[in-house]
Amino acid sequence: MAQIDKTFPTMDCSICILAPKMSDVGHHPNIVLLTNSEVQEVKGYIGNFKVKVLKKPRYVTDECSACNDCTEACPVTAPNEFDIGLATRRAIYTPFAQAVPSTYIVDRDICLNKEGIMACDKCIQACERKAIDFDMEPTTLELEVGTIIVATGAEVYDPSSLTNYGYTRYPNVITSLEFERLINAGGPSGGNLIRPSDMKIPESVAFIQCVGSRSEKGNPYCSNVCCMNTIKDSLLIKEHWPDVKIHVFYVDIRAFGKGFEDLYTRAKEEGAIFTRGLPAEVVEDKKTQNLWLIGENTLQKELYKINVGMVILSIGIQPCHDSDTIQRLCTLSRTPDGFFMEAHPKLRPVDAPTGGIFLAGCAESPKDIKDSVTQASAAAARAGILMAQGKVTVEAITPKTIPENCQLCGLCARVCPYNAIAVDKERKLVEVIEAACAGCGTCGAECQFEALHMRHFTDAQIMSQIDALTEEVPDEKIIAFCCNWCAYAGADFAGVSRMQYPPNVRIIRTMCSGRVSPKFVEHALSRGAGAVLVAGCHPGDCHYIDANVQTQKRVERLWKKMDRLGVDKNRLQLLWASAAEGERVASKVKEMQATLEKLTAEEVEKGKEAFAGS
């Protein structure tokens, strides 16, 4: 946000809103701000997290008064990342004037002082307060925290791979983020919108929308903010240089928020020309370094060829490149887009699937400043509820260990998506951390020794259900194990939607398909059940992070076993169905009914014999 000049739809100055907040955080007695640090390990569970943080050295102590004397003395220059390389910084620097903490930092990658060799001491000589210390070492902090909010933000799309727009080939093709730095009064051009090729203000500019968003070449999703950002940018240009002609090429203008449509209308009134249809190609005029945009106006069904002085690519937002590290550290899950997934998209939009962890901002999905603040406030409040209570209420579906049966193999701990099982081999103890457990039952299905008692979904309960359902004409029945969230709800949806499917399916509900132990399937077959269906959420959509991965592994193992024992493996089916896919459930049952009708008495007998005693 600090890189942006103005914010939509109110056009207030970005740094004017942000800087006081950043400074408040820096000075708040109850907030410890750790910059230039890396989370290395997150252990524990809701209310009792132990976090290991590596604090990297800045080589400048808190004595620094940010007077800039060291920077002036430093002989090494590099492009400033904050200005996307449009300005220079030194090896000792601060990214921007309002950065918090205001303490400077030394970039040891470019500094002349390499490990063990102090070649240059210009900054040390220049520093009156003796705040520069090249002997600083990285330190590891161990923090004990109750809740964690993941607000790691996002990155912008790199348009250099879209060769038809010529970014990095033509100097006058810039990104919207570079534009923000150019139009910012504190930026590298002092607020003048200049063409990088000749430093002159262009007579006309073109914005190209959806660069890297909503396309097969870039990211498939809408980046949410680029339309309004362009509208804001075009108004900014019109405010400073009313004579500059503005073209906006778009697919759809998505001005959906409060005050957005007004801003869009204003931009049109100010004279920005909106054309539907992205240019197919941007070509540079070698003499003037102006750019030709060639494409089709899809509203008027005619081709256009427009000459402009500068092209601004409205680039999209994408997940941080190190999201998988954060995902691994905090046991989060991600949507196919790569953003972190919330526990429930409607009812728990700021909770992560792991208890005590919350999400805020663009780490969860692309969003504007207002939405980020809304979500962050919600996350803080959700965390506050837990912290104020000091305890959590868990559903009574957590497992209980039976120490007599336990062989300490640790399989249960390995499959637990929440790391809620601790195996202490020394004390010969398996401990279920109930606060962290969500009750999926994957551990119970994995345990070979009946050492885990899954409350309310016990082995005995499920076995009795199988027994009851296979009491009469078992060979005509399909025993279906459905997970509570997707498959069971999907079957329910098929019912309430009055979809017709064979009535001989018998459903056993479990919290997760991961609860379905191979022995349940084997028991059903040994009782002569015609067919067995295991159904759960789509991979990646599991309500217990990734417990259904275990489901798939177990079913695949069972298929192999059935093959080996000569049992028709078509009798066991695996289905991924969401709560809205009643049709999918119905058609699967119909398909299984067809196999059931072909089933011979010998085949049923074979199954009974093969799995006798299970």
Partner 1 sequence: MVPRKLWRKPLDSEQIKLPKAEIHIIPDLCKGCGFCIEFCPRKVLEKSDKLNKRGVYPPKVADESKCTLCGFCTAICPDFAIFTTEKKEEASKNVE
Q: Which residues bind partner 1 (CB under 8 A)?
A: 75-77, 79-88, 95, 112-114, 117, 119-120, 122, 155-156, 158, 160, 168, 171, 178, 188-189, 194, 196, 199, 321
Nearer to partner 1, 21 or 114 (CB): 114
Q: In the complex, what is the shortest distance from the CB of residue 91 to partner 1, in angstroms, rounded to a whole number?
A: 10
86: CB partners within 8 A, 6+ apart: 79, 80, 178, 181, 182, 187, 188, 189, 196
Q: In the complex, what is the shortest distance from the CB of residue 115 to partner 1, in angstroms, rounded to a whole number?
A: 12
Residue 593's φ and ψ, nearest 5 degrees, are -60, -35
Task: Burial-class residue 336 by CB neighbours within 10 Å (0-12, 13-18, 19+).
Answer: exposed
Distance, CA of 524 to CA of 535 (rounded, Å): 15
Closest to 397 (Cα-Cα) out of 344, 456, 316: 456
Q: In the complex, what is the shortest distance from the CB of residue 197 to partner 1, in angstroms, rounded to a whole number?
A: 11
Distance, CA of 468 to CA of 352 (rounded, Å): 39
Nearer to partner 1, 113 or 219 (CB): 113
Distance, CA of 558 to CA of 157 (rounded, Å): 44
Q: In the complex, what is the shortest distance from the CB of residue 280 to partner 1, in angstroms, rounded to a whole number?
A: 24
Nearer to partner 1, 54 or 120 (CB): 120
Distance, CA of 442 to CA of 527 (rounded, Å): 24
Q: In the complex, what is the shortest distance from the CB of residue 129 to partner 1, in angstroms, rounded to a whole number?
A: 22
Cα 11 to chain centroid distance, Å, stands at: 29
Q: In the complex, what is the shortest distance from the CB of residue 69 to partner 1, in angstroms, rounded to a whole number?
A: 14
Q: Are 449 and 408 in contact (CB under 8 A)?
A: no
Residue 280's φ and ψ, nearest 5 degrees, are -75, -30
Nearer to partner 1, 12 or 155 (CB): 155
Beta bridge partner(s), residue 532: 479, 572
Closest to 367 (Cα-Cα) out of 375, 357, 356: 375
Nearer to partner 1, 112 or 369 (CB): 112
Nearer to partner 1, 108 or 266 (CB): 108
Q: In the complex, what is the shortest distance from the CB of residue 196 to partner 1, in angstroms, rounded to a whole number?
A: 6
Token pair, residue 69, equals 């004397």
Nearer to partner 1, 114 or 400 (CB): 114
Give the amino acid at 350. Answer: V
Nearer to partner 1, 142 or 198 (CB): 198
Nearer to partner 1, 79 or 384 (CB): 79
Cα 343 to chain centroid distance, Å, stands at: 12
Report helix, strand or coil for 424: strand
Exposure of 338 in the CB half-sphere (CA atoms within 13 A): 17
Q: In the complex, what is the shortest distance from the CB of residue 193 to partner 1, in angstroms, rounded to a whole number?
A: 12
Nearer to partner 1, 44 or 338 (CB): 338
Q: In the complex, what is the shortest distance from the CB of residue 204 to partner 1, in angstroms, rounded to a whole number?
A: 21
Is residue 403 reached through a cis peptide bond, with omega within 30 degrees of 0 on the bond before it?
no
Region for 450 from its dihedrals, namely left if φ exceeds 0, alpha if ψ lies in -120 to 50, beta otherwise: left
* Cα→Cα distances 7→78, 252, 262, 392, Å: 29, 21, 15, 39
Nearer to partner 1, 321 or 391 (CB): 321
Report helix, strand or coil for 363: helix
* Angle in degrees, 0-180, between the axes of helices 226-240 and 260-269, rounded to the nearest 10: 40
Q: In the complex, what is the shortest distance from the CB of residue 166 to partner 1, in angstroms, rounded to a whole number?
A: 13
Distance, CA of 144 to CA of 164 (rounded, Å): 51
Q: In the complex, what is the shortest distance from the CB of residue 104 to partner 1, in angstroms, rounded to a whole number?
A: 16
Nearer to partner 1, 99 or 537 (CB): 99
Q: In the complex, what is the shortest distance from the CB of residue 109 to partner 1, in angstroms, rounded to a whole number?
A: 13
Q: Exposure pattern of 432-453 as b/e (b: 16+ CB <10 Å)? A: bbbbbbbbbbbbbbbbeebbbb
Beta bridge partner(s), residue 88: 79
